[in-house]
Chains A and B, each alone.
Chain A
Amino acid sequence: MALAVRDVSISFGGVVAVKGMGLDISEGEIVGLIGPNGAGKTTFINCIAGTYQPSSGTVAWQGRELRGLAPHAVIRQGVARTFQNVASLHDLTVLDIVKLGAGARGGASPRDAARAFVRGEAELEAELHEAVLGPLRLSPIAAQPIQTLSYGLRKAVDLARALASRPRLLLLDEPVAGLTAQEGRQMAGVIREVRDRTRCAVLMVEHKMDVVMSTCDRIAVMAAGAKIFEGTGAEVQADPEVRRVYLGEP
């Protein structure tokens, strides 16, 4: 298992948000995480990404414990995440944002930083165009300020930013929410394409069931902070408990 989460719990001021949650993901696998609002899906992602520190449990990633690491240290382990709501970072351009993503890889020595200061970043730019912006079809708008872009494009830039850090595990927090149907299909295609190309593992929180069904190899269902079911798309749709909790059937 590339990622093995066991028994993770976290609560906020007495409210238990995630309780005894566990999940495995293998390399090259896309796992969907679904569940009603407030089920603790985003909190669970935050626990893996280091934004929140779970009060108990283990988050093993490629044999290393992530629990206790700061978010920037988690990214250096090859675990990148996207955001549910894309922050408007004012006049930063698409290329600026993606460069920041590349910077999050870490490992830049003071000498590298000094070289970037003196000589500029032409090499890095070329690499990012080839590896990230090109495949996501963002190269033509690389010089545009982020605030001039549509919501869908901003989400794509956020994904590009995460990809620029060369993740081996991608945590996607509602990548399709808020996009038009067409944009959503494109985004789903991009996610599969990225997985096929880089063989990275993907954990994806999403509400749009058609996208989840068509994209994910396996689906986990959360309710009230705990996992209530795990299986293929067909199995999830057939399970009576899931239908009751999530799909709103009696």
Chain B
Amino acid sequence: MSRRRQIAAAAAVVLAVAGCFALGRYGAYLVHAVAISAIAALGLNLLTGFAGQISFAQGALVGIGAYTAGNLGNAGWGAGAVLAGGVAGGVASVVIGLPALRLRGLYYAIATLAAQFVLEYLFKIVEPLTRGISGMNVSPLVLLGRTVASDQAYAALSLALLAITWAGLQRLMHTNVGRSFLVVRENELVARGMGIDVVRVKLWAFLVSGFVTGVSGALVAFTTRLATPEAFSLQLSVDQVAMLIVGGQGVWAGSLLGATFVVLVPEAIQRAGEAFKAANLLSASREMAFGLLIILFLVFEPRGLAALLRRLGRALSRLVASRASRASPTPAALATSRYPATGGSREKAH
């Protein structure tokens, strides 16, 4: 990114964060719900979109972050609790990845599935740390001696953390660790031949992605003020995968687009359901839309909304250009990325 664009992006973030305080309660709630999901989706995008490892354990990792941060927050920790949530998520993510480290991606997917179920079970069982099925109450976050209580403040905080995560991950992709992710995604054999320590690279991917996901979990705990096993079930893992597909893999903006879509559409459907008193059918149609969207995107637009919007932008600018007969610049596309995910060819795992 050029210096000028960096400054523009930073200014936009500052404006957006400040703007959160002008929102109503419901608006602020929507902002932090989307931002927190987007942070976890960035973590999953790093792992799946950039490093090529599909994970079904996102839900459990968010839970690890939430329970860690919740317990520490209740014990009087402030910002440290959020950080600790990230660290716990990172460590858990590495532990989950260990069994499948030397195997192909498919085995990693199954290992994460196993981890999701085992962790979900532990959330219910280890009552001293999780309060079991009834859930754990979490006291509000204390930052710099002040209690963060309002939805507006959480919206601002979540947006700021989203921006920091995004910038950090983007930066990571411009180091050799990040570049190695891409080579491992494309072809592990070539990566090894190039002298890349594939095991180490995967560990990095697990660690960073788990950290980011754990931070998101910490924010979940503090905004919902309650951590229950149900909130971190396979459903959440699947939602996260859906965000990735709908938004676009291997494109950072895709995580935000996907999170926006996956969080807001059910919200809208629920509102409609309340209005028409047809909750059952509507929750079914929400799921149906979900399944169909995943399939349709994967079949027809594997690069997700990010690519779709970019193409739309181009078409629009061409239209404008031809109308106005003078060349207008392409609108700054939301999704400018050098790394479209067109991962390794299908191969049988041995």
Contact = CB atoms under 8 A, between A and B. Distances in A.
Tell me if chains A and B make direct contact, with any CB pair below 8 A. yes
Interface of A: 49, 51, 70-72, 74-76, 80-81, 83, 87-93, 96, 99-104, 108, 113, 116-117, 120-121, 145, 161, 165
B192 A117 contact: no
Nearest to A115: B175
Contact of B195 (A83, A87, A99, A104): A104
B338 A72 contact: no
Contacts of A117: 171-172, 175
With most chain B CB atoms within 10 A of its CB, the pick from A88, A90, A92, A108 is: A90
Interface string B164-185: 0000000110111101101100
Given A71-B195, A89-B182, A103-B179, 6 more contacts: A72-B197, A87-B187, A92-B182, A104-B195, A113-B177, A120-B174
Nearest to A74: B195
Contacts of B197: 70, 72
Interface in B232-271: none
B94 to A, nearest CB: 16
A80 B192 CA distance: 11
A100 B179 CA distance: 7
B332 interface: no
A101 B194 contact: yes
Interface residues of B, number: 24
A91 B193 CA distance: 19
A141 B179 CA distance: 19
Contacts of A93: 338
B171 A145 contact: no
B342 interface: yes
Question: Quick one: which of A87, A93, A121 has the most chain B CB within 10 A?
Answer: A87
A88 B343 CA distance: 11
A81 B193 CA distance: 7
A83 B186 CA distance: 15
B342 A100 contact: no
Contacts of B338: 91, 93, 145
User: Which 9 A-B pairs rank lowest in CB-CB distance, beginning with the nearest?
Assistant: A104-B195, A75-B195, A103-B176, A87-B190, A72-B197, A91-B338, A71-B192, A72-B195, A116-B175
A70 B201 CA distance: 14
B179 A96 contact: yes
- With a 10 A CB-CB cut-off, give which of B175, B187, B339 has the most chain A CB atoms: B175
Nearest to B173: A96
B342 to A, nearest CB: 7
